Structure 1
Amino acid sequence: MVFGVILAGGIGSRMGNVEKPKQYLNVGGKPIILHTLEKFYVNSKFEKLIVLCPSQWINHTKNLVKKNFNDDSKIVVIEGGSTRNETIMNSIRYIEKEYGLDDDTIIVTHDSVRPFLTYRIIEDNIRYAQEYGACDTVIPASDTIVESVGHEVISNIPDRSVMYQGQTPQSFKAKKLKELYEGLTEEEKEILTDACKIFVIKGQDVHLVEGEVFNIKITYPYDLRVAETLIKGEDK
């Protein structure tokens, strides 16, 4: 079975002084999270879409789902965790409890504030996760990457031709991800930036999926303006 996992646990602190988490801000006349959910909802391969959000926003999210989707039974809203990876683990625990986990259970995890992913990206994630066990959506780095270990002077300038910028979805065989995560030390968990790093730490391959430049994450106020422009382009 294949499950969509929408990560909506953030509070959007980098968006500035706003009254609600950024995933609930309006773009193109409706909350960002609805644009994102729609991209998953139209794909018939998903057994269930699992939205994970802060506990105080669960009822609000459920109401959004009920008002905007004809078959809201396809979407479940549950509480996220204290970290990104704990949020993903909450989704796996839900799947294990309700459906059971086997070697073929796939989760496609995606930022709720990346509403411009495509059907092709989702399809590639499902296919590569089934074939390879783990995959990450990326685009080639367009700018030179500068490393500064001390945050004051340049330590290294890596070869840009082998550098990529990570996006989402990131997709996995859920049982394997759970096993690897539970095998991490507390020190290893502290250095995690995303779920793919769990596989990398444990020496497991993560296949690359070609992303899109417009598959942006809405993080800053400027991104909202860009998103409004992209939405208008989609509507034409």
Structure 2
Amino acid sequence: MTIYAQILAGGKGTRMGNTAMPKQFLPLGNKPILIQTVEKFTLEDRFKAILVVCPADWLTHTKDLIRKYVTDPRVVVITGGSERNDTLMNGIAYIEKTFGLKDEDAVVTHDAVRLFITKRIIDDNITAVQKYAAVDTVVPAIDTIVRGKDNAIEEIPIREYMYQGQTPQSFNIKKLKAAFGQLTEAQKAILSDSCKICLLAGEEVHMVRGEVSNIKITTPYDLKIARAIVEKRVTI
């Protein structure tokens, strides 16, 4: 079984507001957010390659950052797609073209802006994806989840069954490819989560435990929280 990592850095960061660059390239402490995330994955020897998939307009910038901060030869920078799942599939296409694919090969995918990922979470994903076609990292929902439409509540699900999705999300590559190929264009247009690709194809998606600290930096408030965490670690 060959295992790959894919760092999804294709976002434009529109919810971050007026910034000079996409959020994954913003500095945090003494390094860009993306670099701190990539470094966590270079600590895992079981990855054959670590793909960083970025916007085409930022390809040169991303390569320059990797060259400056990362010495691991497994790290490769490639261009992403227009949407998250297009970016994911671009990475899969690169893996297949460069290394070939065996039936059991797997990929561990992660948001570039979740820099507080832990070794335990990565280990749990690798262990689970050896058994299941798809794996999602989750934490139990703390707040009550409300489903609504047009400013009206339609359902309040039982909270003990509700979880908040994080990343990594890990997949058997061939099964993910097959599932994505079965989607209609209408399904692809509204697909906001990669694990749903496998759910729609009838594959079981296994859950592994995330961490509350495994936050995704999406808004200016998230960036403030991340800075506070980094600053506290530096002073300890």
TM-score by length of 1: 0.97
Count, aligned residues: 234
1:175 counterpart letter in structure 2: K
- For 1:169 and 1:63, locate their aligned partners in 2 and report how far apart those are by CA, in whole Å: 25
**CA shift digits 1:36-67 (9 cap, x unpaired):** 00100111011011001111111111111111
Structure-2 residue corresponding to 1:157:
156
**CA shift digits 1:8-46 (9 cap, x unpaired):** 001101000001000000111211001100100111011
- For 1:63 and 1:178, locate their aligned partners in 2 and report how far apart those are by CA, in whole Å: 31
Q: State the shift of 1:232 in Å.
A: 2.8
SS of the equivalent of 1:34 reads helix
- For 2:204 and 2:185, locate their aligned partners in 1 and report how far apart those are by CA, in whole Å: 22
Structure-2 residue corresponding to 1:131:
131
Q: State the shift of 1:205 in Å.
A: 0.5
1:64 counterpart letter in structure 2: L
**CA shift digits 1:115-158 (9 cap, x unpaired):** 001001001111101111210000000000111122x1111111
Q: Is the 8 A contact 2:133 2:203 kept in 1?
A: no
Deviant stretches of 4+, over 3 Å: none
- For 1:131 and 1:112, locate their aligned partners in 2 and report how far apart those are by CA, in whole Å: 25
Structure-1 residue corresponding to 2:175:
176
SS of the equivalent of 1:180 reads helix
Structure-2 residue corresponding to 1:29:
30
- For 1:191 and 1:15, locate their aligned partners in 2 and report how far apart those are by CA, in whole Å: 22
Q: Does 1:201 align with 2:200?
A: yes
SS of the equivalent of 1:155 reads strand
Q: State the shift of 1:105 in Å.
A: 1.1
Q: Does 1:65 align with 2:66?
A: yes
1:162 counterpart letter in structure 2: Y
- For 1:209 and 1:62, locate their aligned partners in 2 and report how far apart those are by CA, in whole Å: 32
- For 1:225 and 1:191, locate their aligned partners in 2 and report how far apart those are by CA, in whole Å: 30
SS of the equivalent of 2:177 reads helix
1:4 counterpart letter in structure 2: A
Give the CA RMSD over aligned residues: 1.0
Q: Does 1:115 align with 2:115?
A: yes
Structure-2 residue corresponding to 1:2:
3
Show the 5 A alignment for 1:76-87. 76-87=76-87
- For 1:77 and 1:184, locate their aligned partners in 2 and report how far apart those are by CA, in whole Å: 27
SS of the equivalent of 1:124 reads helix
Q: Which runs of 5+ in 2 are unaligned?
A: none
**CA shift digits 1:51-106 (9 cap, x unpaired):** 011111111111111111223x2111000011111111001100000110111111
SS of the equivalent of 2:49 reads strand
